[in-house]
């Protein structure tokens, strides 16, 4: 069986060395030394000024909305994982969907403007598959209309744009460190902001809003992460460059072998490099995509329709809406297997099977 994804695991002895320290200190959670060290090391690796390590990427989104005191309507994308929308609803705000660009698959800035009302408080955009949104256009829109900007950068670990971390854009950026991600800590998430005051607020929210042993300064939640998760993050950080290089090689191999497939790749943002978080392809037709998906499954090869269906017409707690490009793309897109231990031979097999079913 070739799964669509497989988490990277560091050598067991390296992880065990961190566990030995946990047993010695008997400090398991509540921002222990490993979690604190991971924050510092990630700040250095990502070249950002302020970063918080939290429970997961969904909690990070909820905390971002809370820290910015958002209410009313938040403009967002229907082409993303459900957490992008559910976090808005969870925080008692109203998601306002706008369609995506057919090229990048990111939210279309031109359509954002038309959706702004007197009740709009923010834009929550996803860097789909790690591909940077048009952050320049979104920043201009936000400034003109006095809106906050949150980026769901769940897939964008290590991505840069014009030489800067993609996490540097917007009021707050969030990232997921779930086991399926390019870089993971088993479960985990990141919050990044340039504003030290927002950072203080986020840090307080992460710890129940506690301001002292017997006092609270705001509404908070338990957004902390454990020493065991931080240990995995520290161990994996030693291998991130090796992981990234290998995934880039596999992606390039797919590109070469699938040149004649009746499918296209999303167009990556200029002045940015693909971090190979996923390998999505957009087939010419849904019929061909389904035939290929079924054929791969019969050969014990996993794929994922990421993202299908559109969030705008699939969530039971929202009124369904139709968006031409999102509805079309979501029916035709498929993510192929991509992970560190995937072999060249397995990629070649996947490509042969895809081309064979296309030509039958």
Q: What is the pLDDT of residues 199-229, one digit of tens each?
A: 999 999 999 999 887 889 999 999 999 999 9
Cα dist. 184→181, 266, 277 in Å? 6, 24, 12
With 80 as the cut, is the pLDDT of residue 360 above it? no
Q: Within its chain, how far is the Cα of 98 from the centroid?
A: 19
CA 202, CA 300: separation in Å to the nearest integer?
Answer: 44
pLDDT of res. 196: 97
CB 178 within 8 A of CB 57: yes
pLDDT (tens digit, 9 = 90+) per residue, 164-196? 999 999 999 999 999 999 999 999 999 999 999
pLDDT of res. 215: 87
pLDDT of res. 283: 98
pLDDT of res. 274: 97
Q: Could you tell me the domains of the chain?
A: 12-237 (3.40.640.10), 240-359 (3.90.1150.10)
Contact residues for 251 (Cβ-Cβ < 8 A; gap 6+): 274, 276, 279, 338
pLDDT (tens digit, 9 = 90+) per residue, 15-42? 999 999 999 999 999 999 999 999 999 9
pLDDT grade for 359, boundaries at 50, 70 and 90: confident
pLDDT grade for 120, boundaries at 50, 70 and 90: very high
pLDDT grade for 352, boundaries at 50, 70 and 90: very high
DSSP assignment string, 48-98 = -S-EEEES-HHHHHHHHHHHTT--SEEEE-SSS-HHHHHHHHHTT-EEEE-
Question: What's the whole-number average pLDDT of the chain?
Answer: 97
For 326, the token pair is 């999102």
With 80 as the cut, is the pLDDT of residue 49 above it? yes
With 80 as the cut, is the pLDDT of residue 52 above it? yes
CA 230, CA 225: separation in Å to the nearest integer?
Answer: 7
pLDDT (tens digit, 9 = 90+) per residue, 235-278? 999 999 999 999 999 999 999 999 999 999 999 999 999 999 99
Report the predicted TM-score, pTM, of the whole model to 2 decimal places: 0.97
pLDDT of res. 211: 84
């Amino acid at each position: 069986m070739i799964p669509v994804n497989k988490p990277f695991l560091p050598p067991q002895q390296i992880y065990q060395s961190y566990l030995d320290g946990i047993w010695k200190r008997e400090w398991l959670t509540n921002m222990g030394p490993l979690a604190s060290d991971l924050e510092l090391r990630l700040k250095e690796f990502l070249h950002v000024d302020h970063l918080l390590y939290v429970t997961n990427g969904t909690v990070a989104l909820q905390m971002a909305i809370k820290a910015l005191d958002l209410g009313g309507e938040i403009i967002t994308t229907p082409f993303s994982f459900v957490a992008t929308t559910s976090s808005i609803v969870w925080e008692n705000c109203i998601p306002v969907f706008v369609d995506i660009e057919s090229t990048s698959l990111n939210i279309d800035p031109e359509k954002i403007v038309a959706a702004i009302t007197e009740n709009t408080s923010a834009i929550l955009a996803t860097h789909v598959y790690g591909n940077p949104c048009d952050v320049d256009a979104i920043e201009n829109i936000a400034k003109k209309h006095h809106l906050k900007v949150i980026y769901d950068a769940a897939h964008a670990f290590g991505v840069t744009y014009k030489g800067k971390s993609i996490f540097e854009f917007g009021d707050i950026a969030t990232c997921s460190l779930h086991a399926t991600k390019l870089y993971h800590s088993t479960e985990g998430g990141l919050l990044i902001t340039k504003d030290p005051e927002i950072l203080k607020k986020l840090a307080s929210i992460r710890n129940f809003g506690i301001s002292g042993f017997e006092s609270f300064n705001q509404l908070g939640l338990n957004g902390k992460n454990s020493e065991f998760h931080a240990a995995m993050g520290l161990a994996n950080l030693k291998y991130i460059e090796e992981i990234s290089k290998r995934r880039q090689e596999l992606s390039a191999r797919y590109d070469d072998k699938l040149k004649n497939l009746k499918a296209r790749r999303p167009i990556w943002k200029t002045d940015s490099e693909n971090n190979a978080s996923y390998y999505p392809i957009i087939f010419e037709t849904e019929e061909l995509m389904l035939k290929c998906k079924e054929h791969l499954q019969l050969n014990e090869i996993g794929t994922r329709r990421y993202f299908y269906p559109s969030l705008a017409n699939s969530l039971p707690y929202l009124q369904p809406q139709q968006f031409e490009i999102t509805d079309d793309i979501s029916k035709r897109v498929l993510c192929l297997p991509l992970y560190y231990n995937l072999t060249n031979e397995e990629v070649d097999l996947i490509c042969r099977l895809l081309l064979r079913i296309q030509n039958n």
